[in-house]
């Protein structure tokens, strides 16, 4: 083969990256079921995840300068055909989702063996791949109905993954059922909203929707569609007070599932919300301003305080971290509602930083639960001393969750405070700092149980095997690393925020 031909093939493969991002995990899922071998199932899942991560990094590298990749499925040009559209924001979230998926799988190899019956292992990895496919697809696609399809793929697999915790605790079944009911209501609202937007504009391509809404102006159908989309995605995001499915789902799901969901699922939903709020509609529309100011800001503040307050009184560590996630989602939505570049950058950075920190914490809890049998504080006494590396990972994750300087969490919270001052909202800046103090209380309770109480005499706990330790250490290292080196996270988030604030114009060709 000549040099010219080699170049051509390579260029062709580079051109296919947006669709390969979703296709590789999607093909891996039936392949795992078809082969049916437990060990091969893990290997296929890991290879597919790692490939998706490499592709996401390559895509981010291509769009970090603010450019946009538009990929036409089957050669049909949008808006007639389906388009995959990658910009700095979507590439960042793709990198987070595929990166967490890749890191969780080595951890899952050991933890799944301890928590799920052997006969269900191949099913677990197949569903994990489907969930990954759904989340990546939601972020990569530029077509509104496609978002719904991928949302359903990820949701349906998630319900079963949560229910797999029933082997350890039957309450996982009711948690999965609650999640199913709430998730279905959310998806129904979302698809009704899409139907209304289609009725008003005759298109489902996001860029085309933005153009047509801008040209036609706003009518009652578009407004109703907007409301349905926001409430539907609000349920998926676990936006306060639509969060009731989340604490039980995170508490009773298998550890590897909780880790993956906490770090990715709500972030993909926030991404979709951002797309509709800034790219399809635009904050220039009067009703959207009011939605952000009168609904997002009060509920975000409520989440930051109420969920943190509830977390302080939890006696189960997994449940405490679940309520903490609801509070952290409040910070992300608050950043979005500030409607300035700093606030949006803070929201995007916080999505990544929170994903890393919460994954590290849930992995640590999962490792401790393997030895103690439960996540209740009484059963975890002194385990930080018995499991020094696991304890250190949880300290790094906990400090990042609070937002201590030198950790990733500090960067995003500091930017949120800056964004509030830019708008002259000093009361909200004070609220951000005060709610962080509540995080200090519940994270301190965790440290107290792990280090300041004596372990029971018959405790034989030790740090988990290497496949579980290495992912935990990578995440703990990332919590510290991104607290100092913010070039990748902040740089990408700023480009993403500028693209979003360009509003509808940013989605036009």
φ, ψ at 297 (rounded to 5°):
-65, -50
**pLDDT at position 286:** 67
Residue 2 lies in a domain: no
Residue 5 lies in a domain: no
**pLDDT at position 232:** 92
Residue 249 lies in a domain: yes
Average pLDDT of every residue of the chain: 85
Residue 34 lies in a domain: yes
Q: Over 70: is that where the pLDDT of 4 sits? A: no
Query: Are the beta carbons of 289 and 278 closer than 8 angstroms?
Result: no
**For the residues of 171-227, what is the DSSP string, one character each?**
HHHHHHHHHHHHHHHHHHHHHHHHHHHHHHHS--BHHHHHHHHHHH---HHHHHHHH
**pLDDT at position 5:** 29
Helix, coil or strand: residue 459? coil
Q: What is the pTM of this model?
A: 0.90
Across the range 241-253, mean pLDDT stands at: 86
CA 231, CA 387: separation in Å to the nearest integer? Answer: 43
**How many domains does the structure of the chain reveal?**
1
Query: Are the beta carbons of 247 and 171 closer than 8 angstroms?
Result: no
Residue 491's domain comprises 11-507
Residue 393 lies in a domain: yes
Alpha helix segments (H runs only) across 338-405? 341-372, 383-386, 388-402
Cross-strand bridge partners of residue 71: 84
Residue 286 lies in a domain: yes
For the stretch 472-504, pLDDT in tens is 999 999 989 988 887 888 888 888 888 878 754
Instruction: Identify which of 439, 318, 326 has the alpha carbon closest to the alpha carbon of residue 376.
Output: 318
Residue 387 lies in a domain: yes
CA 412, CA 423: separation in Å to the nearest integer? Answer: 17
CA 227, CA 423: separation in Å to the nearest integer? Answer: 26
- Reported for 390-394, long-range contacts at CB under 8 A and 24+ positions apart, including other chains, are 390/364, 390/463, 390/464, 390/469, 390/472, 391/364, 391/450, 391/451, 392/476, 393/360, 393/363, 393/364, 393/472, 393/473, 393/475, 393/476, 394/360, 394/361, 394/364, 394/365, 394/446, 394/450
**pLDDT at position 52:** 92
φ, ψ at 495 (rounded to 5°):
-60, -40
Residue 188 lies in a domain: yes
Q: Over 90: is that where the pLDDT of 453 sits? A: no
For the stretch 161-211, pLDDT in tens is 999 888 888 888 999 999 999 999 999 999 999 999 999 888 888 888 888
Query: Are the beta carbons of 246 and 325 closer than 8 angstroms?
Result: yes
Across the range 427-440, mean pLDDT stands at: 89
């Amino acid at each position: 083969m000549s040099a010219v031909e080699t170049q051509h093939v390579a260029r062709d493969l580079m051109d296919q990256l947006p669709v390969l991002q979703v296709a590789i995990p999607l093909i891996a899922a039936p392949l795992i079921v078809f082969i049916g071998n437990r060990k091969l199932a893990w290997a296929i899942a890991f290879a597919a995840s790692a490939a998706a991560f490499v592709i996401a990094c390559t895509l981010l590298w291509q769009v970090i300068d603010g450019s946009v990749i538009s990929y036409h499925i089957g050669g049909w040009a949008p808006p007639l055909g389906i388009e995959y559209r990658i910009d700095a924001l979507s590439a960042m979230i793709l990198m987070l989702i595929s990166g967490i998926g890749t890191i969780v799988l080595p951890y899952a190899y050991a933890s799944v063996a301890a928590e799920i019956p052997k006969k269900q292992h191949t099913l677990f990895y197949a569903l994990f791949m489907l969930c990954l496919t759904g989340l990546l697809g939601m972020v990569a696609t530029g077509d509104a109905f496609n978002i719904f399809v991928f949302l359903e793929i990820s949701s349906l697999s998630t319900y079963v993954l949560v229910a797999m915790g029933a082997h350890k605790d039957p309450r996982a079944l009711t948690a999965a059922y609650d999640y199913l009911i709430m998730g279905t209501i959310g998806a129904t609202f979302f698809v009704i909203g899409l139907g209304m937007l289609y009725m008003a504009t005759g298109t489902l391509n996001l860029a085309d929707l933005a153009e047509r809404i801008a040209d036609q102006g706003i009518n009652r159908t578009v407004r109703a569609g907007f409301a349905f989309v926001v409430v539907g995605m609000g349920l998926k995001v676990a936006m306060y007070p639509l969060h009731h499915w989340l604490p039980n789902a995170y508490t009773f799901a298998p550890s590897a599932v909780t880790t993956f969901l906490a770090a990715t699922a709500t972030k993909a939903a926030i991404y979709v919300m951002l797309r509709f709020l800034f790219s399809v509609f635009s904050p220039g529309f009067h009703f959207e301003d009011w939605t952000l100011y009168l609904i997002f800001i009060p509920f975000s503040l409520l989440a930051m305080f109420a969920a943190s307050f509830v977390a302080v009184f939890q006696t189960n560590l997994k449940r405490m971290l679940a309520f903490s996630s609801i509070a952290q989602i409040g910070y992300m939505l608050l950043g979005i509602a500030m409607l300035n570049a700093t606030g949006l950058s803070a929201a995007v950075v916080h999505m990544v930083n929170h994903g890393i920190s919460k994954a590290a914490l849930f992995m640590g809890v999962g490792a401790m639960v393997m030895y103690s049998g439960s996540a209740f504080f009484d059963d975890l006494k002194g385990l930080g001393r018995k499991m020094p590396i696991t304890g250190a990972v949880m300290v790094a994750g906990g400090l990042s969750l609070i937002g201590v300087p030198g950790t990733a969490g500090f960067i995003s919270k500091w930017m949120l405070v800056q964004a509030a001052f830019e708008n002259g909202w000093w009361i909200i800046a004070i609220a951000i700092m005060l709610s962080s103090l509540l995080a200090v209380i519940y994270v301190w309770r965790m440290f107290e149980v792990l280090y300041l109480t004596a372990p029971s005499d018959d405790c034989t706990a030790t740090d988990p095997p290497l496949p579980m330790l290495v992912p935990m250490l990578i995440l703990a290292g990332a919590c510290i690393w991104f607290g100092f080196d913010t070039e990748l996270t902040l740089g990408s988030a700023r480009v993403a925020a500028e693209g979003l604030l360009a509003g509808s114009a940013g989605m036009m060709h």
